[in-house]
Amino acid sequence: MPRPDTPRRAERARMPLAVHVLGLSVFALGTSEFMISGLLQPLARDMDVSIPQAGLLVSAFAIGMVVGAPVLAGATLRLPQRTTLVALLAVFGLGQVAGAMAPTYEVLFASRVVSALACAGFWAVGAAVAVSLSPPGAKARAMSVMIGGLSIANVVGVPAGALLGQHAGWRAAFWAVAALSAIGLVGVVTLVPRTQPPTGEDRPRLRRELRIYRDGQVWLAITITALNAAATFCLFSYLSPLLTDTAGLDEGWVPTVLVLYGVGALIGTSIGGRVADAHLFGTMYTGLAATTAVLALLALIAHLPVAAVGLALALGVTSFFTAPAINARMFDIAGDAPTLAGATNTSAFNIGNTLGPWIGGLVIGAGWGYKAVSWAGAALAAAALCATAVASRRHRRTAASRVVAGSRPEVVVPAESGGTTG
């Protein structure tokens, strides 16, 4: 008798609307996180800073994400999840307002960190909610919906931010994201189910969730996530000047290429989310190897405008193809500590998002040029591929990943019509 095909049945099952609402909210968060890449030149001119200094605003956001994800996940572990999501979105929106009104580079830098703290907490809690609401065997597909919000942000939000920056000033982009976060706030309040955290012996305990860090596979997963993100954002953070200074494109082309990158990211997320539940390590191997190849090729032929544009699209596909599998892997090995698992993966991603622009800035500051940034990204992707091989070998030796004991997930209570938050 054939065994039931859980991933195939999960693929046919409908994903709850609340998961898509979370993905929609992530669209606003992702637009803010990545739009700086399309605003580097006007922002640097207005603030009278260098391009690498402006690029550090990407790292500022990432630093806030690294710190905020585990801290806020632990601090809100026993709070109703919808209440937490609403509060974090509100703080994020206020951070965008502060950025739009920032009189100096230092104030803008600080506003990025504050916004990132809220964004990190939302990601950590939102990922746990998405996984808990997903059909059985569909963790990667649920995460692909969340990551899809980032992909759509790259398709629509980041290019739109670049256009606003060119025609209405970079501050207009921050005001637009503040409005998007308000829309997301309404969606979470009205459509995400109310939750009641367990009480008594079943209540979440931070000490129990911290047990995930005893598992070597968790640390391998952190390493893979960080290296994959570093490889991507080492190049992506400086994609705009690469297109103008190396490929010789006019600055007006930047929003169009960012759209293409985002389209690639959306394609990669969609395909990766559908195949990762059935072929997790295969998805990771394929995506990381392809990212290494794309970055190396970009280093060789970025001076050709058509090649630079086409490879920007390809980089979006390969890097985001890997993302659902990497996220699902963390929930597989730390599934009984879902909130901290989501926070850990968020921190790991943003460790890479911090290191990538920093490494790229060092390469540029050394006078090696933007092509050398692509070589640095290719080396980071190759390192992630090696770490994946180690994780896969350890996984085969134990036959299945060991699930670390932790806290039980919250009980989801359907929201009543007109009910209050939390």
Q: Is 403 left (phi over 0), alpha (psi -120 to 50) or beta?
A: beta
Under 8 Å between Cβ of 257 and 309: yes
- Is residue 326 in some structural domain? yes
- Is residue 195 in some structural domain? yes
Give the per-residue pLDDT at 402: 43
The residue that leads in pLDDT, 154 or 368, is 368
Averaged over 139-159, what is the pLDDT? 73
C-alpha distance from residue 85 to each of 48, 82, 128, 416 (Å): 36, 5, 11, 18
Give the per-residue pLDDT at 3: 47
Confidence of residue 8 (pLDDT cuts 50, 70, 90): very low
Q: Check pLDDT > 50 for residue 255.
A: yes
Number of domain units in the chain: 1
Averaged over 367-394, what is the pLDDT? 89
Percent of the chain with pLDDT over 90: 9
Of 166-180, 336-350, 398-412, give the range with the top mean pLDDT. 166-180
Summarize pLDDT for 80-137 with one digit per residue, the tens.
778 888 889 899 999 999 988 888 888 888 888 888 888 888 877 887 777 777 776 6
Residue the block writes with tokens 């990212």: 291
Print the domain residue range for 130. 16-408
Under 8 Å between Cβ of 332 and 402: no
Q: Residues for the chain: how many in total?
A: 422
Q: Check pLDDT > 50 for residue 408.
A: no
Give the per-residue pLDDT at 413: 39
Averaged over 167-182, what is the pLDDT? 87
Averaged over 395-412, what is the pLDDT? 50
SS3 state at 49: coil
Percent of the chain with pLDDT over 70: 84
Summarize pLDDT for 213-240 with one digit per residue, the tens.
777 788 888 899 999 989 988 888 788 7
Summarize pLDDT for 23-52 with one digit per residue, the tens.
888 888 888 877 887 787 788 888 888 877
74 DSSP 8-state letter? H
Q: Check pLDDT > 50 for residue 253.
A: yes
Phi, psi of 195, deg, nearest 5? -130, 150
Summarize pLDDT for 56-94 with one digit per residue, the tens.
787 778 778 777 777 777 777 777 778 888 889 899 999
Give the per-residue pLDDT at 230: 92
Q: In angstroms, what is the C-alpha Rg of the chain?
A: 20
Confidence of residue 296 (pLDDT cuts 50, 70, 90): very high
- Is residue 417 in some structural domain? no
Q: Check pLDDT > 50 for residue 406.
A: no
- Is residue 126 in some structural domain? yes
CA dist 246 and 374 (Å) reads: 12
3-state helix, strand, coil in the chain (%, to 5): 80, 0, 20
Question: Which H or E run includes 261?
Answer: helix 254-275
- CATH number of the domain bearing residue 270: 1.20.1250.20
Give the per-residue pLDDT at 136: 67
The residue that leads in pLDDT, 120 or 387, is 387
What sign results for the dihedral spanned by CA atoms 402, 408, 410, 413?
positive
Partners of 412 in the beta sheet? 195
- Is residue 6 in some structural domain? no
Averaged over 181-200, what is the pLDDT? 75
CA dist 271 and 265 (Å) reads: 10
Confidence of residue 378 (pLDDT cuts 50, 70, 90): very high
Q: For residue 76, give every residue at least 6 positions away whose Cβ sits within 8 Å of its Cβ, in sequence order, or none.
A: 84, 121, 125
Instruction: Give the pair of three-digit tokens for residue 387.
Output: 């770490």
Under 8 Å between Cβ of 281 and 387: no
Confidence of residue 200 (pLDDT cuts 50, 70, 90): low
Neighbours of 106 (CB within 10 A): 10
Give the per-residue pLDDT at 338: 63
Under 8 Å between Cβ of 335 and 128: no
Confidence of residue 198 (pLDDT cuts 50, 70, 90): low
Q: Is 137 left (phi over 0), alpha (psi -120 to 50) or beta?
A: left
201 DSSP 8-state letter? G
Short-list 404, 408, 403, CA closest to 201? 408
Phi, psi of 50, deg, nearest 5? -80, 165
- Is residue 88 in some structural domain? yes
- Is residue 334 in some structural domain? yes
SS3 state at 411: strand
User: CA dihedral in degrees (149, 30, 385, 216; nearest 10)?
Assistant: -90
Give the per-residue pLDDT at 380: 94
Q: Check pLDDT > 80 for residue 333.
A: no
**In terms of C-beta density within 10 A (0-12 exposed, 13-18 middle, 19 or more buried), how is residue 10 classed?**
buried
Confidence of residue 195 (pLDDT cuts 50, 70, 90): low
Mean residue pLDDT across the chain:
78
Q: For residue 265, give every residue at least 6 positions away whose Cβ sits within 8 Å of its Cβ, in sequence order, or none.
A: 150, 151, 154, 155, 316, 317, 319, 320
**pTM for this structure?**
0.69
Q: For residue 335, give every residue at least 6 positions away whose Cβ sits within 8 Å of its Cβ, in sequence order, or none.
A: 341, 403
Phi, psi of 36, deg, nearest 5? -60, -30
- Is residue 212 in some structural domain? yes
Confidence of residue 274 (pLDDT cuts 50, 70, 90): confident
